[in-house]
Structure 1
Amino acid sequence: MQRDEIYLVDLWRILVRQWRGFAVAALAVLALAVAYAMLAKPRWEAQAWVQVGQVATQPAGQDPRPEPFQRVIERLQTVAFQNEVLQSAGIPLKSPEGGLYRSSLKVEPSFYAGLIKISVRAASPALARRLAQATVDQLHAIHQRLLAEPLAQARGRLGEVQAALREATATRDGLRAAAGNRESMSGQGPALAAGLLLAGKETEVRELRQAKDDLTARLSASYTFDTSMPWPIYQPDHPVAPNRVLILGLGVLGGLGLGLFVAVAGDARRRAKQPKAG
């Protein structure tokens, strides 16, 4: 404990002797921090949550999405996809805005919820929002092309089931009428045969109606949908960078550290120049 107290006293004496060097170094670092905090261009952020589309009529065991979830995440991080987004937004690929978009694009998946959070930054709030929207729109266009074929197949299958149901229903109604006429005009033999045919057609109608209802439900908006945003784009009402408080805090700490180093180095140099006793 005594050594620590002596060390602090010695350090205080060094600072008193070398206060000019300490002050110059500390103020220089603090001035640089203040200048950077004041002159750095503000950066605005926009955040979008993306729900990957699907066609829910796929057989059991097959992914209803247009591509696996992890592949969607990797696609968002490719240079080719980002270039397509910039071109759709009318931003030159080699411009500062394009470089900031690539460097700031952040993809955060939520596997449990099946959502992807996209964050982008730009020099203005309007541009940040436009780039976030362009990112979602580009992904939507790609997935729409991939989902076109399975969606057309599902709708075609629904049309076939509906046509078969209409035909089976008409046949069943005809058998009902024929069975009633035979039952009133003749014995039980023809009526029994007609009843068996009618029972089989009733079963077919129920199965077709169930298949139609199932396909209709799976093609509804609750189960089949395009890639889209479940919520509007979120944008903070203030720039997210630079963080001036953090920069000034680091400037103060850096200035104190450099000032102490300069003071100790100056005192050591002063001692080295002093003639040795004896």
Structure 2
Amino acid sequence: MPLEDNAGAGQPQRTNAAYAIPEDEISLRDLWEIIAKRKWLVILSMVVCLGLAAAYVSLATTVYESKAMVQIGKVAGQPLNNSLQLASALMNRYTLVNTEQANKQLPKLYAVTPDKADGSILTLEAQGRSPQEAQQYLQGVIQRLLAEDHQRYQQLVGVRQAQLKRLQTQYQHMRSAADIKIGKGQADSTSALLLLEQFRRTEALTHIQSAIANMENALAPNNTSPTAQTLSPRYDPIPIAPKRGLILVLAGLGGLMLGVFLALLQNAFRK
């Protein structure tokens, strides 16, 4: 009997120990009660964060963006400029050396990006304090680029056109000389030397004809074209910065989280 009493007495103790709730744990209901009691602290935190965010948004410089696209010219199928090198050169030309001043610079050339599908197409992005400022600044950058590339394009095309003209003149001279010699040779009996000479002249004329055809094909519009603006700088009235709505939403959420943290911290200190 004493053994049975001891066993019965020990069983409830083990059961209570298994289902006991630790004192340092807190339920969601307790958490809600703590926050509800200090709701004004949470609201005050949100108001302060929203106020700071609103002050920043009102004082920050509004930035607008304008985009345009340029097709790099080519001569005989070869581009006038390497797209990556041209993009780097443009950014270096229009970006200040001092990084801090470059970040504050407006208007400015923000980015020059080669197209992934076609490397000869560049997308230029400029930023300004107004849509008009960004658009006009980008138009000036593009006009200078087109003027410089047009000058180089004219030089390269001029060289190839001169080569084509020389080939055409040479062909005409050789053709005329061949016709005269053939006319004289008709009075004489055909000889092996005359046939050999005619064969050589015909082969030379064929070679020059092929060179002329290749040169004309290289100067055709599909292989030779100047740098052109394919998309004019657009006028976008929607600012890209600051993101007012996003900033205010993040400020509200941050204020809410800060208020909950302060409420829990205050409750812990009071305990």
**3-state SS, counterpart of residue 228 of structure 2:** coil
Q: Residues 198-220 of structure 1, C-alpha deviation per residue, up to 9 Å, x if partnerless?
A: 33323222222221121122123
Determine the structure 1 residue equivalent to 2:63.
Answer: 43
Q: Give the TM-score taking structure 2 as reference length.
A: 0.74
- The answer as to whether partners of 1:175 and 1:194 remain within 8 angstroms in 2 is no
- The answer as to whether partners of 2:87 and 2:112 remain within 8 angstroms in 1 is yes
Determine the structure 2 residue equivalent to 1:128.
Answer: 134
Q: What is the distance in 2 between the residues matched to 1:264 and 1:26? A: 16
For the pair 1:71 / 2:73, whether they are aligned, the reply is: no
Q: What is the distance in 1 between the residues matched to 2:217 and 2:133? A: 40
Q: Is the deviation greater in 122-131 or in 6-15?
A: 6-15
Q: Residues 164-191 of structure 1, C-alpha deviation per residue, up to 9 Å, x if partnerless?
A: 1221222233234334x42xxx4333xx
Instruction: Give the AA of the match of 1:153.
Output: V
- The answer as to whether partners of 2:73 and 2:80 remain within 8 angstroms in 1 is yes
Which of 171, 179, 184 pairs up with 1:173? 179
Q: What is the distance in 2 between the residues matched to 1:175 and 1:112? A: 56
- The answer as to whether partners of 1:136 and 1:228 remain within 8 angstroms in 2 is no
Determine the structure 2 residue equivalent to 1:226.
Answer: 226
**3-state SS, counterpart of residue 112 of structure 2:** strand
For the pair 1:56 / 2:76, whether they are aligned, the reply is: yes
Q: Pick closer, same or farther for the CA change 1:160–1:126 going to 2, 3 Å.
A: same
For the pair 1:107 / 2:127, whether they are aligned, the reply is: no
Runs of 4 or more above 6 Å deviation: 94-98
- The answer as to whether partners of 1:48 and 1:119 remain within 8 angstroms in 2 is yes
Instruction: Give the AA of the match of 1:206.
Output: T
Determine the structure 2 residue equivalent to 1:187.
Answer: 189
Determine the structure 2 residue equivalent to 1:155.
Answer: 161
| CA root-mean-square deviation | 3.4
Q: What is the distance in 1 between the residues matched to 2:242 and 2:104? A: 19
**3-state SS, counterpart of residue 242 of structure 1:** coil
Q: Pick closer, same or farther for the CA change 1:135–1:150 going to 2, 3 Å.
A: same
State the shift of 1:256 in Å.
1.0
Determine the structure 2 residue equivalent to 1:82.
Answer: 94
How many pairs were matched up? 246
**3-state SS, counterpart of residue 203 of structure 1:** helix
Q: What is the distance in 2 between the residues matched to 1:225 and 1:161? A: 22
Q: What is the distance in 2 between the residues matched to 1:230 and 1:166? A: 41
State the shift of 1:146 in Å.
4.9
Q: Residues 114-139 of structure 1, C-alpha deviation per residue, up to 9 Å, x if partnerless?
A: 12221111122222122222222333
Determine the structure 2 residue equivalent to 1:242.
Answer: 242
Instruction: Give the AA of the match of 2:94.
Output: Q
Q: Residues 52-73 of structure 1, C-alpha deviation per residue, up to 9 Å, x if partnerless?
A: 233227xxxxxx3444333222
Unaligned runs of 5+ in 2: 1-20
Determine the structure 2 residue equivalent to 1:117.
Answer: 123
Q: Residues 237-258 of structure 1, C-alpha deviation per residue, up to 9 Å, x if partnerless?
A: 5333333332222122112122
Q: What is the distance in 1 between the residues matched to 2:153 and 2:95? A: 23
Q: Pick closer, same or farther for the CA change 1:37–1:83 going to 2, 3 Å.
A: closer
State the shift of 1:9 in Å.
2.2
- The answer as to whether partners of 2:83 and 2:122 remain within 8 angstroms in 1 is no
Unaligned runs of 5+ in 1: 58-63, 85-93, 273-278
- The answer as to whether partners of 1:47 and 1:234 remain within 8 angstroms in 2 is yes
- Identity of counterpart residues, as a percentage? 24
